[in-house]
């Protein structure tokens, strides 16, 4: 890897040489969460440059954590975790649980990123509580620039969920208008839909509104009780 060696035989130090370079553990989080294509991975690390992402993927491949699999009939490549990479799942979970439990809320809420929030909501959304057929959800953040103020989650009957920044042209089942901080607090499990009701403008299907807390894609660490103030 690109960082200097600790020159210690300790397995912790040796693992840190691979996993503790800048962005690496966050990149592994994306791979563990199921992203395999370069552009999908990048949507989970939107502030990481394409050049650095490509470099880190090469380093993880050299370390035996990732394998490149060309997609038949196209120029696309899937980045798939090896057995060694899959073994990092509990490591990523432990990182996240520790951060949710012991890192203060306010610093986290000063690092708002609507692109990352909506991408995480897309992959964690639970379609089961939603009505049969297609459901379209439009999230609006009026305080943001026009290019980032409106997002659509399209939940298909199959359970597949797509994220759009351009109006897909479908009838919308629920409009959610709020500020980015409030939506991030809900996603992180720091508050709930009902507790934040005064900061949420929900316009649409009563059934979809009533089940919002259930279908909303929350952080996988949202259930961990925060002990830091």
Supply the pTM of this predicted model.
0.85
Question: Residues 159, 130, 124, CA angle at the centre, nearest 5°?
Answer: 55
Question: Residues 150, 156, 160, CA angle at the centre, nearest 5°?
Answer: 90
d(CA 223, CA 86): 23
* pLDDT confidence of residue 229: 66
Question: Residues 125, 129, 130, CA angle at the centre, nearest 5°?
Answer: 80
* pLDDT confidence of residue 1: 47
d(CA 69, CA 67): 6
Query: Helix (H, G, I), strand (E, B), or coil: what is residue 47?
Result: coil
How far is the first Cα of the chain from the last one, in angstroms, to the nearest whole number? 36
pLDDT per residue as tens, the chain (229 positions) = 445 688 888 999 999 999 999 999 999 999 999 999 999 999 999 999 999 999 999 999 999 999 999 999 888 999 999 999 999 999 999 999 999 999 988 877 888 999 999 999 999 999 999 999 999 999 999 999 999 999 999 999 999 999 999 999 999 999 999 999 999 999 999 999 999 999 999 999 999 999 999 999 899 999 888 887 6
Q: What is the DSSP annotation of 122-174? A: HHH---TTSPSS-EEEEEE-TTS-GGGSEEEEEE-TTS-EEEESS--SSPPSE
* pLDDT confidence of residue 98: 94
122-158 burial, b if ≥16 CB within 10 A, otherwise e? bbbbebeebeeeebbbbbebeeeeeeebbbbbbbeee
């Amino acid at each position: 890897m690109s960082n200097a060696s600790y020159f210690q035989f300790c397995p912790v130090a040796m693992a840190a040489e691979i996993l503790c370079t800048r962005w690496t553990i966050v990149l592994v989080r994306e791979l563990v969460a199921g992203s395999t294509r370069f552009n999908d991975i990048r949507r989970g690390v939107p502030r990481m440059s394409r050049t650095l992402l490509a470099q880190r993927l090469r380093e993880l491949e050299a370390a035996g954590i990732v394998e490149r699999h060309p997609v038949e009939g196209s120029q696309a490549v899937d980045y798939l975790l090896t057995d060694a990479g899959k073994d990092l799942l509990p490591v990523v979970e432990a990182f996240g649980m520790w951060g949710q439990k012991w890192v203060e809320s306010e610093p986290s809420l000063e690092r708002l990123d609507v692109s990352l929030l909506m991408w995480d909501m897309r992959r964690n959304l639970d379609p089961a509580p939603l009505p049969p057929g297609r459901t379209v959800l439009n999230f609006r953040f009026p305080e943001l620039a026009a290019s980032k103020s409106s997002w659509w989650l399209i939940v298909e009957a199959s359970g597949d969920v797509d994220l759009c920044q351009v109006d897909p042209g479908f009838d919308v089942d629920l409009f959610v208008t709020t500020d980015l901080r409030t939506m991030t607090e809900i996603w992180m499990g720091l508050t709930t839909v009902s507790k934040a009701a005064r900061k949420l403008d929900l316009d649409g299907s009563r059934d979809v509104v009533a089940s919002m807390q259930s279908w909303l894609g929350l952080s996988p660490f949202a259930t961990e009780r925060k002990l830091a103030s």
